[in-house]
């Protein structure tokens, strides 16, 4: 087990490799390997362990009633998944967690962290604090997405998302981390309709767009 690697993750931030070694015992740490497309957690499962990706990567997917797959998120090395469900025992997963490549996962049972007095092991409290930070940040990401998809028009969603990016990057001139399909998925709209709306906004002089690079123009007064 690579304790040095773990000590650099957000979850174990502020703990030494030596401390981690003792903690892994409390957390009933178990490592497991998966092949590509293996399902790590199924929708409907109830879990008490979060997963940390040691190597490889996993996709968080949701299958709707008609069998359409929808990729909600991708989790890479050092990041965790299912931590929310692990913290709220009894909640059934709404998503599938699937290995997107050969992947090693470290499972950490959080029920001991939370239910038993958190002073049982003096490092527990640091871990819980880190979990809280991870949870709060995920919270903000979810809120942001709801915010950006609350408008009923594609243009409204784009303006919401793009101006947020501009504020966040501190410039009207920025690059987004999505391609068209991903942006369309994020905003829950059709890709071609999105492309169409973007070029319309381009023609109208609202924005200047090239691939995933944007420049906001007239909307300046909004701020």
Residues that bind a second copy (CB under 8 A): 62, 64-65, 70, 72, 83-85, 87-88, 91-92, 94, 114, 118-119, 122, 124-126, 128-129, 131-133, 135-140, 142-147, 149-152, 156, 159-160, 163, 167, 188-190, 222
Q: Which of DNA, a second copy, none lies near 146, with the C-beta cut-off 5 to 8 A by kind?
A: a second copy
CB of 117 or CB of 203, closer to DNA: 203
3-state secondary structure the chain: CCHHHHHCCCCCCCCCHHHHHHHHHHCCCEEEEECCCCEEECCCCCCCEEEEEEECCEEEEEECCCCCEEEEEEECCCCEECHHHHHCCCCCCCCEEEECCCEEEEEEECHHHHCCCCCCCCCHHHHHHHHHHHHHHHHHHHHHHHHHCCCCCHHHHHHHHHHHHHHHHCCCEEECCCCHHHHHHHHCCCHHHHHHHHHHHHHCCCEEEECCEEEECHHHHHC
Q: Single out the residue of 101, 102, 192, 220 in contact with DNA (rule: CB under 7 A).
A: 192
- Are residues 50 and 108 in contact, defined by beta-carbon separation less than 8 angstroms? yes
- Are residues 100 and 83 in contact, defined by beta-carbon separation less than 8 angstroms? no
Using the rule CB under 7 A, give the single segment among 8-16, 101-109, 115-123, 180-188 that binds DNA: 180-188
211 is an interface residue for DNA by CB under 7 A: yes
175 is an interface residue for DNA by CB under 7 A: no
104 is an interface residue for DNA by CB under 7 A: no
Q: Single out the residue of 28, 112, 126, 155 in contact with DNA (rule: CB under 7 A).
A: 155
Q: Cβ 47 to DNA, closest distance in Å? A: 31
Q: Single out the residue of 14, 35, 181, 213 in contact with DNA (rule: CB under 7 A).
A: 181
Using the rule CB under 7 A, give the single segment among 16-24, 45-53, 132-140, 177-185 that binds DNA: 177-185
153 is an interface residue for DNA by CB under 7 A: yes
Write phi, then psi, for 5 (nearest 5 degrees).
-60, -50
150 is an interface residue for DNA by CB under 7 A: no
- Tokens 């690059």 sit at which residue? 175
Q: Comparing C-alpha atoms, which of 30, 121, 130 is closest to residue 87?
A: 130
CB of 115 or CB of 188, closer to DNA: 188
CB of 29 or CB of 198, closer to DNA: 198
Residues that bind DNA (CB under 7 A): 152-155, 179-181, 188-199, 209, 211-212
């Amino acid at each position: 087990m690579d304790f040095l690697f773990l000590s650099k993750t957000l979850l174990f931030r502020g703990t030494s490799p030596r401390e981690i070694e003792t903690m892994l015992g409390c957390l009933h740490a178990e490592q497991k390997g998966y092949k590509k497309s293996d399902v790590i957690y199924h929708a409907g499962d109830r879990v008490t362990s979060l997963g940390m990706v040691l190597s490889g990567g996993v996709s968080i997917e949701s299958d709707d009633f008609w069998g359409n797959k929808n990729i909600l998120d991708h989790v890479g090395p050092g990041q965790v998944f299912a931590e929310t469900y692990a913290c709220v025992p009894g909640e059934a997963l709404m998503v599938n967690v699937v290995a997107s490549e050969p992947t090693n996962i470290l499972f950490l049972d959080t029920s001991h962290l939370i239910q038993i007095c958190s002073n049982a092991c003096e490092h527990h409290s640091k871990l819980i604090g880190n979990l809280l930070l991870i949870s709060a940040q995920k919270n903000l990401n979810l809120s942001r997405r709801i915010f950006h998809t609350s408008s009923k028009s594609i243009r409204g969603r784009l303006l919401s998302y793009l101006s947020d990016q501009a504020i966040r990057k501190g410039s009207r001139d920025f690059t987004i981390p999505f391609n068209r399909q991903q942006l369309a998925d994020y905003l829950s709209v059709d890709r071609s309709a999105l492309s169409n709306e973007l070029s319309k906004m381009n023609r109208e002089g609202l924005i200047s767009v090239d691939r995933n690079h944007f420049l906001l123009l007239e909307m300046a007064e909004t701020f």
